[in-house]
Structure 1
Amino acid sequence: MTVFSATDAAFEGFRLTWEKPRTLLIWTGFFLAVNLLMPLALFGLGLNTQMAALEEASRNPSPDPDVAFESMAALAPLYAILLPVGLVVQAMIAAAVFRLVLDPEDSRVHPVQFGAEEARLIVLALAYTLLFLVAVVAAALVGGMIAGIAAAAGAGAFVGILASFSLMAGLVYVAVRMSLGPVITFSEGRIAVFDSWAMTRNLVWPILGAYVLAVIAVVIFYLLSLLLAAALATLLSGGDLGALGRVMNPDMTSLQAFFSPGQVLMILFGSLTSAVFNAVMSAPAAVIYREIRAQDALR
């Protein structure tokens, strides 16, 4: 028996941001501060040119593994800034969403903060990353062995495709089973690496359905918001269609060039959409956890 509504879980983030505009404003302000301070830090550390190189590499990835590795190595100082900041920001906003879903009264007082709860989420994220890397390496080794055996038997192509789909399905299954780890860690005050596995037993399909619905909804929201931003940027530039392209690819040569009026508008837009995006993507797990716990309390 399903103990929660997949639809309610999927759209909880939209409900929160719609019914609590003050909280949405605070979350938007949080992302606005991050989006303004990060460029200042990058320019101050002389990493602005590396940021431009990273954006170029993401748009035109090299098919040569050696070139790609050299590019990543050259960008190591930039990653040393972006990755820790990303972990902290993600932990803070995820905890804020969990707090709002699980304890609304407390959330009105402390919507975004950093403390022990957020620190535990960071440790869990690092543990999950390590486990993911181990799983990928193990899967690659097993897949390579299967592919070698299949090639020797003359069925390499078919088995390769089947193995790829099986690997993707396996990763999705494991991700769903482990997806409640962050909210368990937040709620129970301990680093719960594997607790989600038992809690999600027999609930894989409804949980996956909730996540898929949330992703579809947030993609639609983002595309509509992007169209609105594009129309506004074109209007403010007097019909210059090239203005949108310049905003989407900011000039990193100097602070003055970066903080153009169009880029500032895009930062404001990005801060709002980031607040909604994170609410929509973090809320389903909190709702699912809350409903499972409520159902267990009735037994």
Structure 2
Amino acid sequence: MSFSATEAAFEGFRVTRHHPMAVLAWALVSLVAVLGMAFIAMPILAPVADEFRGLLASGFTTEPSAAMSARFSYAAMATIPVSLVMQAILLPAIYRAMRQSGGDRFGFLRLGHDELRVFGAQVIVTLVSLLVSQGGEMLGTLAGGAGGAGLALLVEVVVMLASLYLSVRLVLVAPAAFAQGRIDLKAGWTATAGLFWPLIGMAIIAGFMAFVVMLLLGIVALPITVGMTGGAAGPAGLIAAGGLLIILSLALAMTTVILVAPFMVAYREARAPARA
């Protein structure tokens, strides 16, 4: 079966238009997640904080050091659990908003079995991605040692294509877990059969629109960022930091809706013949 990837890609905007107050509630959840990730990442990044401020002031005209790149990689890995929890809370809320025309006093947010199932589904998909990524790096290193740069490049390309294929085939696991009331990897996998390229096209369109939203909110936040890098201190600095966190949280919530909602549409369309 096929579906309109372009139409599905705009589902996030429809959810945002119909449930603006819910988006604000999701932004609050995003704010808590951002603070949690900052609490985890700051001690890891503290040793390279001066270098980062220098790069930020120079507009990133120079390459970061190896130590800084490593620290950011460690921080990204350490914050994955917080990101997964945030997704486990926000994704079911977005799915509920998609099937209801009216509002909800809690922004469709719950803490129950749906959230646990989505969390489990996201953990499984993330672990598969990490295993493929780490395994690919190891294979690339071994190939480079055995056959030189050419073989290493070939292995990296194969691993990249395999990662892309698995990502697309597993992208409907979370919607399936919510819709079916259980974690069913097979259902998520089979739902993508025949939809590989439409799903990629839909993801590209939704990703571009999310980028535009981030860009617009980044323009709004630019004066605040300039003020902070200019050394604003005291109450002014705190207000600037608070404003930047609020804009970042709103951007995170809006882009999450834009990127997540289309895949529930794809899952529903994929399962439509089974329901007929």
Query: What is the TM-score of this pair, normalised by structure 2?
Result: 0.79
User: Offset of 1:108 from its aligned partner?
Assistant: 3.1
Are the counterparts in 2 of residues 11 and 214 from structure 1 also a CA contact under 8 Å? yes
User: Offset of 1:286 from its aligned partner?
Assistant: 0.6
Structure 2 unaligned regions, length at least 5: 56-63
User: Offset of 1:122 from its aligned partner?
Assistant: 1.6
1:245 pairs with one of 229, 244, 262: 229
Distance 1:13 1:158, change over 3 A: same
SS at match of 1:211: helix
Given the alignment of the two structures, is residue 89 of structure 1 paired with residue 86 of structure 2, yes or no? Answer: yes
SS at match of 2:183: coil
Partner of 1:267: 245
Are the counterparts in 2 of residues 127 and 193 from structure 1 also a CA contact under 8 Å? no
Partner of 1:286: 264
Distance 1:25 1:48, change over 3 A: closer
Distance across 1 between alignment mates of 2:20 and 2:243: 20
1:170-215 per-residue CA deviation (whole Å, 9 max, x = no partner) reads: 2111100000001111111111234322111111000011111111
SS at match of 2:66: coil
Distance 1:49 1:281, change over 3 A: closer
Distance 1:213 1:55, change over 3 A: farther
Distance across 1 between alignment mates of 2:15 and 2:36: 27
User: Offset of 1:158 from its aligned partner?
Assistant: 3.4
Given the alignment of the two structures, is residue 162 of structure 1 paired with residue 159 of structure 2, yes or no? Answer: no
Distance across 2 between alignment mates of 1:213 and 1:147: 36
Partner of 2:255: 277
Given the alignment of the two structures, is residue 114 of structure 1 paired with residue 111 of structure 2, yes or no? Answer: yes
Structure 1 unaligned regions, length at least 5: 235-241
Distance 1:278 1:229, change over 3 A: same
Aligned pairs for 1:1-299 (under 5 A) are: 1-2=1-2, 4-32=3-31, 34=33, 38=36, 42=39, 50=43, 53=46, 56=49, 59=52, 62-63=65-66, 68=70, 72=74, 79=78, 82-101=79-98, 103-104=99-100, 108=104, 110=106, 111-144=108-141, 146-147=143-144, 151=147, 156-231=148-223, 233=224, 242-245=226-229, 260-298=238-276
Letter in 1 for 2:252: S
1:137-168 per-residue CA deviation (whole Å, 9 max, x = no partner) reads: 4434544555455x2xxxx4333333322221
How many aligned positions are there?
264
Letter in 1 for 2:100: P
Distance across 2 between alignment mates of 1:183 and 1:58: 41
Distance across 2 between alignment mates of 1:183 and 1:55: 39
Query: What is the TM-score of this pair, normalised by structure 1?
Result: 0.73
SS at match of 1:218: helix
1:69-104 per-residue CA deviation (whole Å, 9 max, x = no partner) reads: 8x95xx7xx94xx55433222210111112222x21
User: Offset of 1:258 from its aligned partner?
Assistant: 9.9
1:207-247 per-residue CA deviation (whole Å, 9 max, x = no partner) reads: 0111111111111111121112224x38xxxxxxx414259
What is the percent sequence identity of the aligned residues?
Answer: 28
Pick 1 or 2: higher relative contact order, CA cutoff 8 A, min separation 6: 1
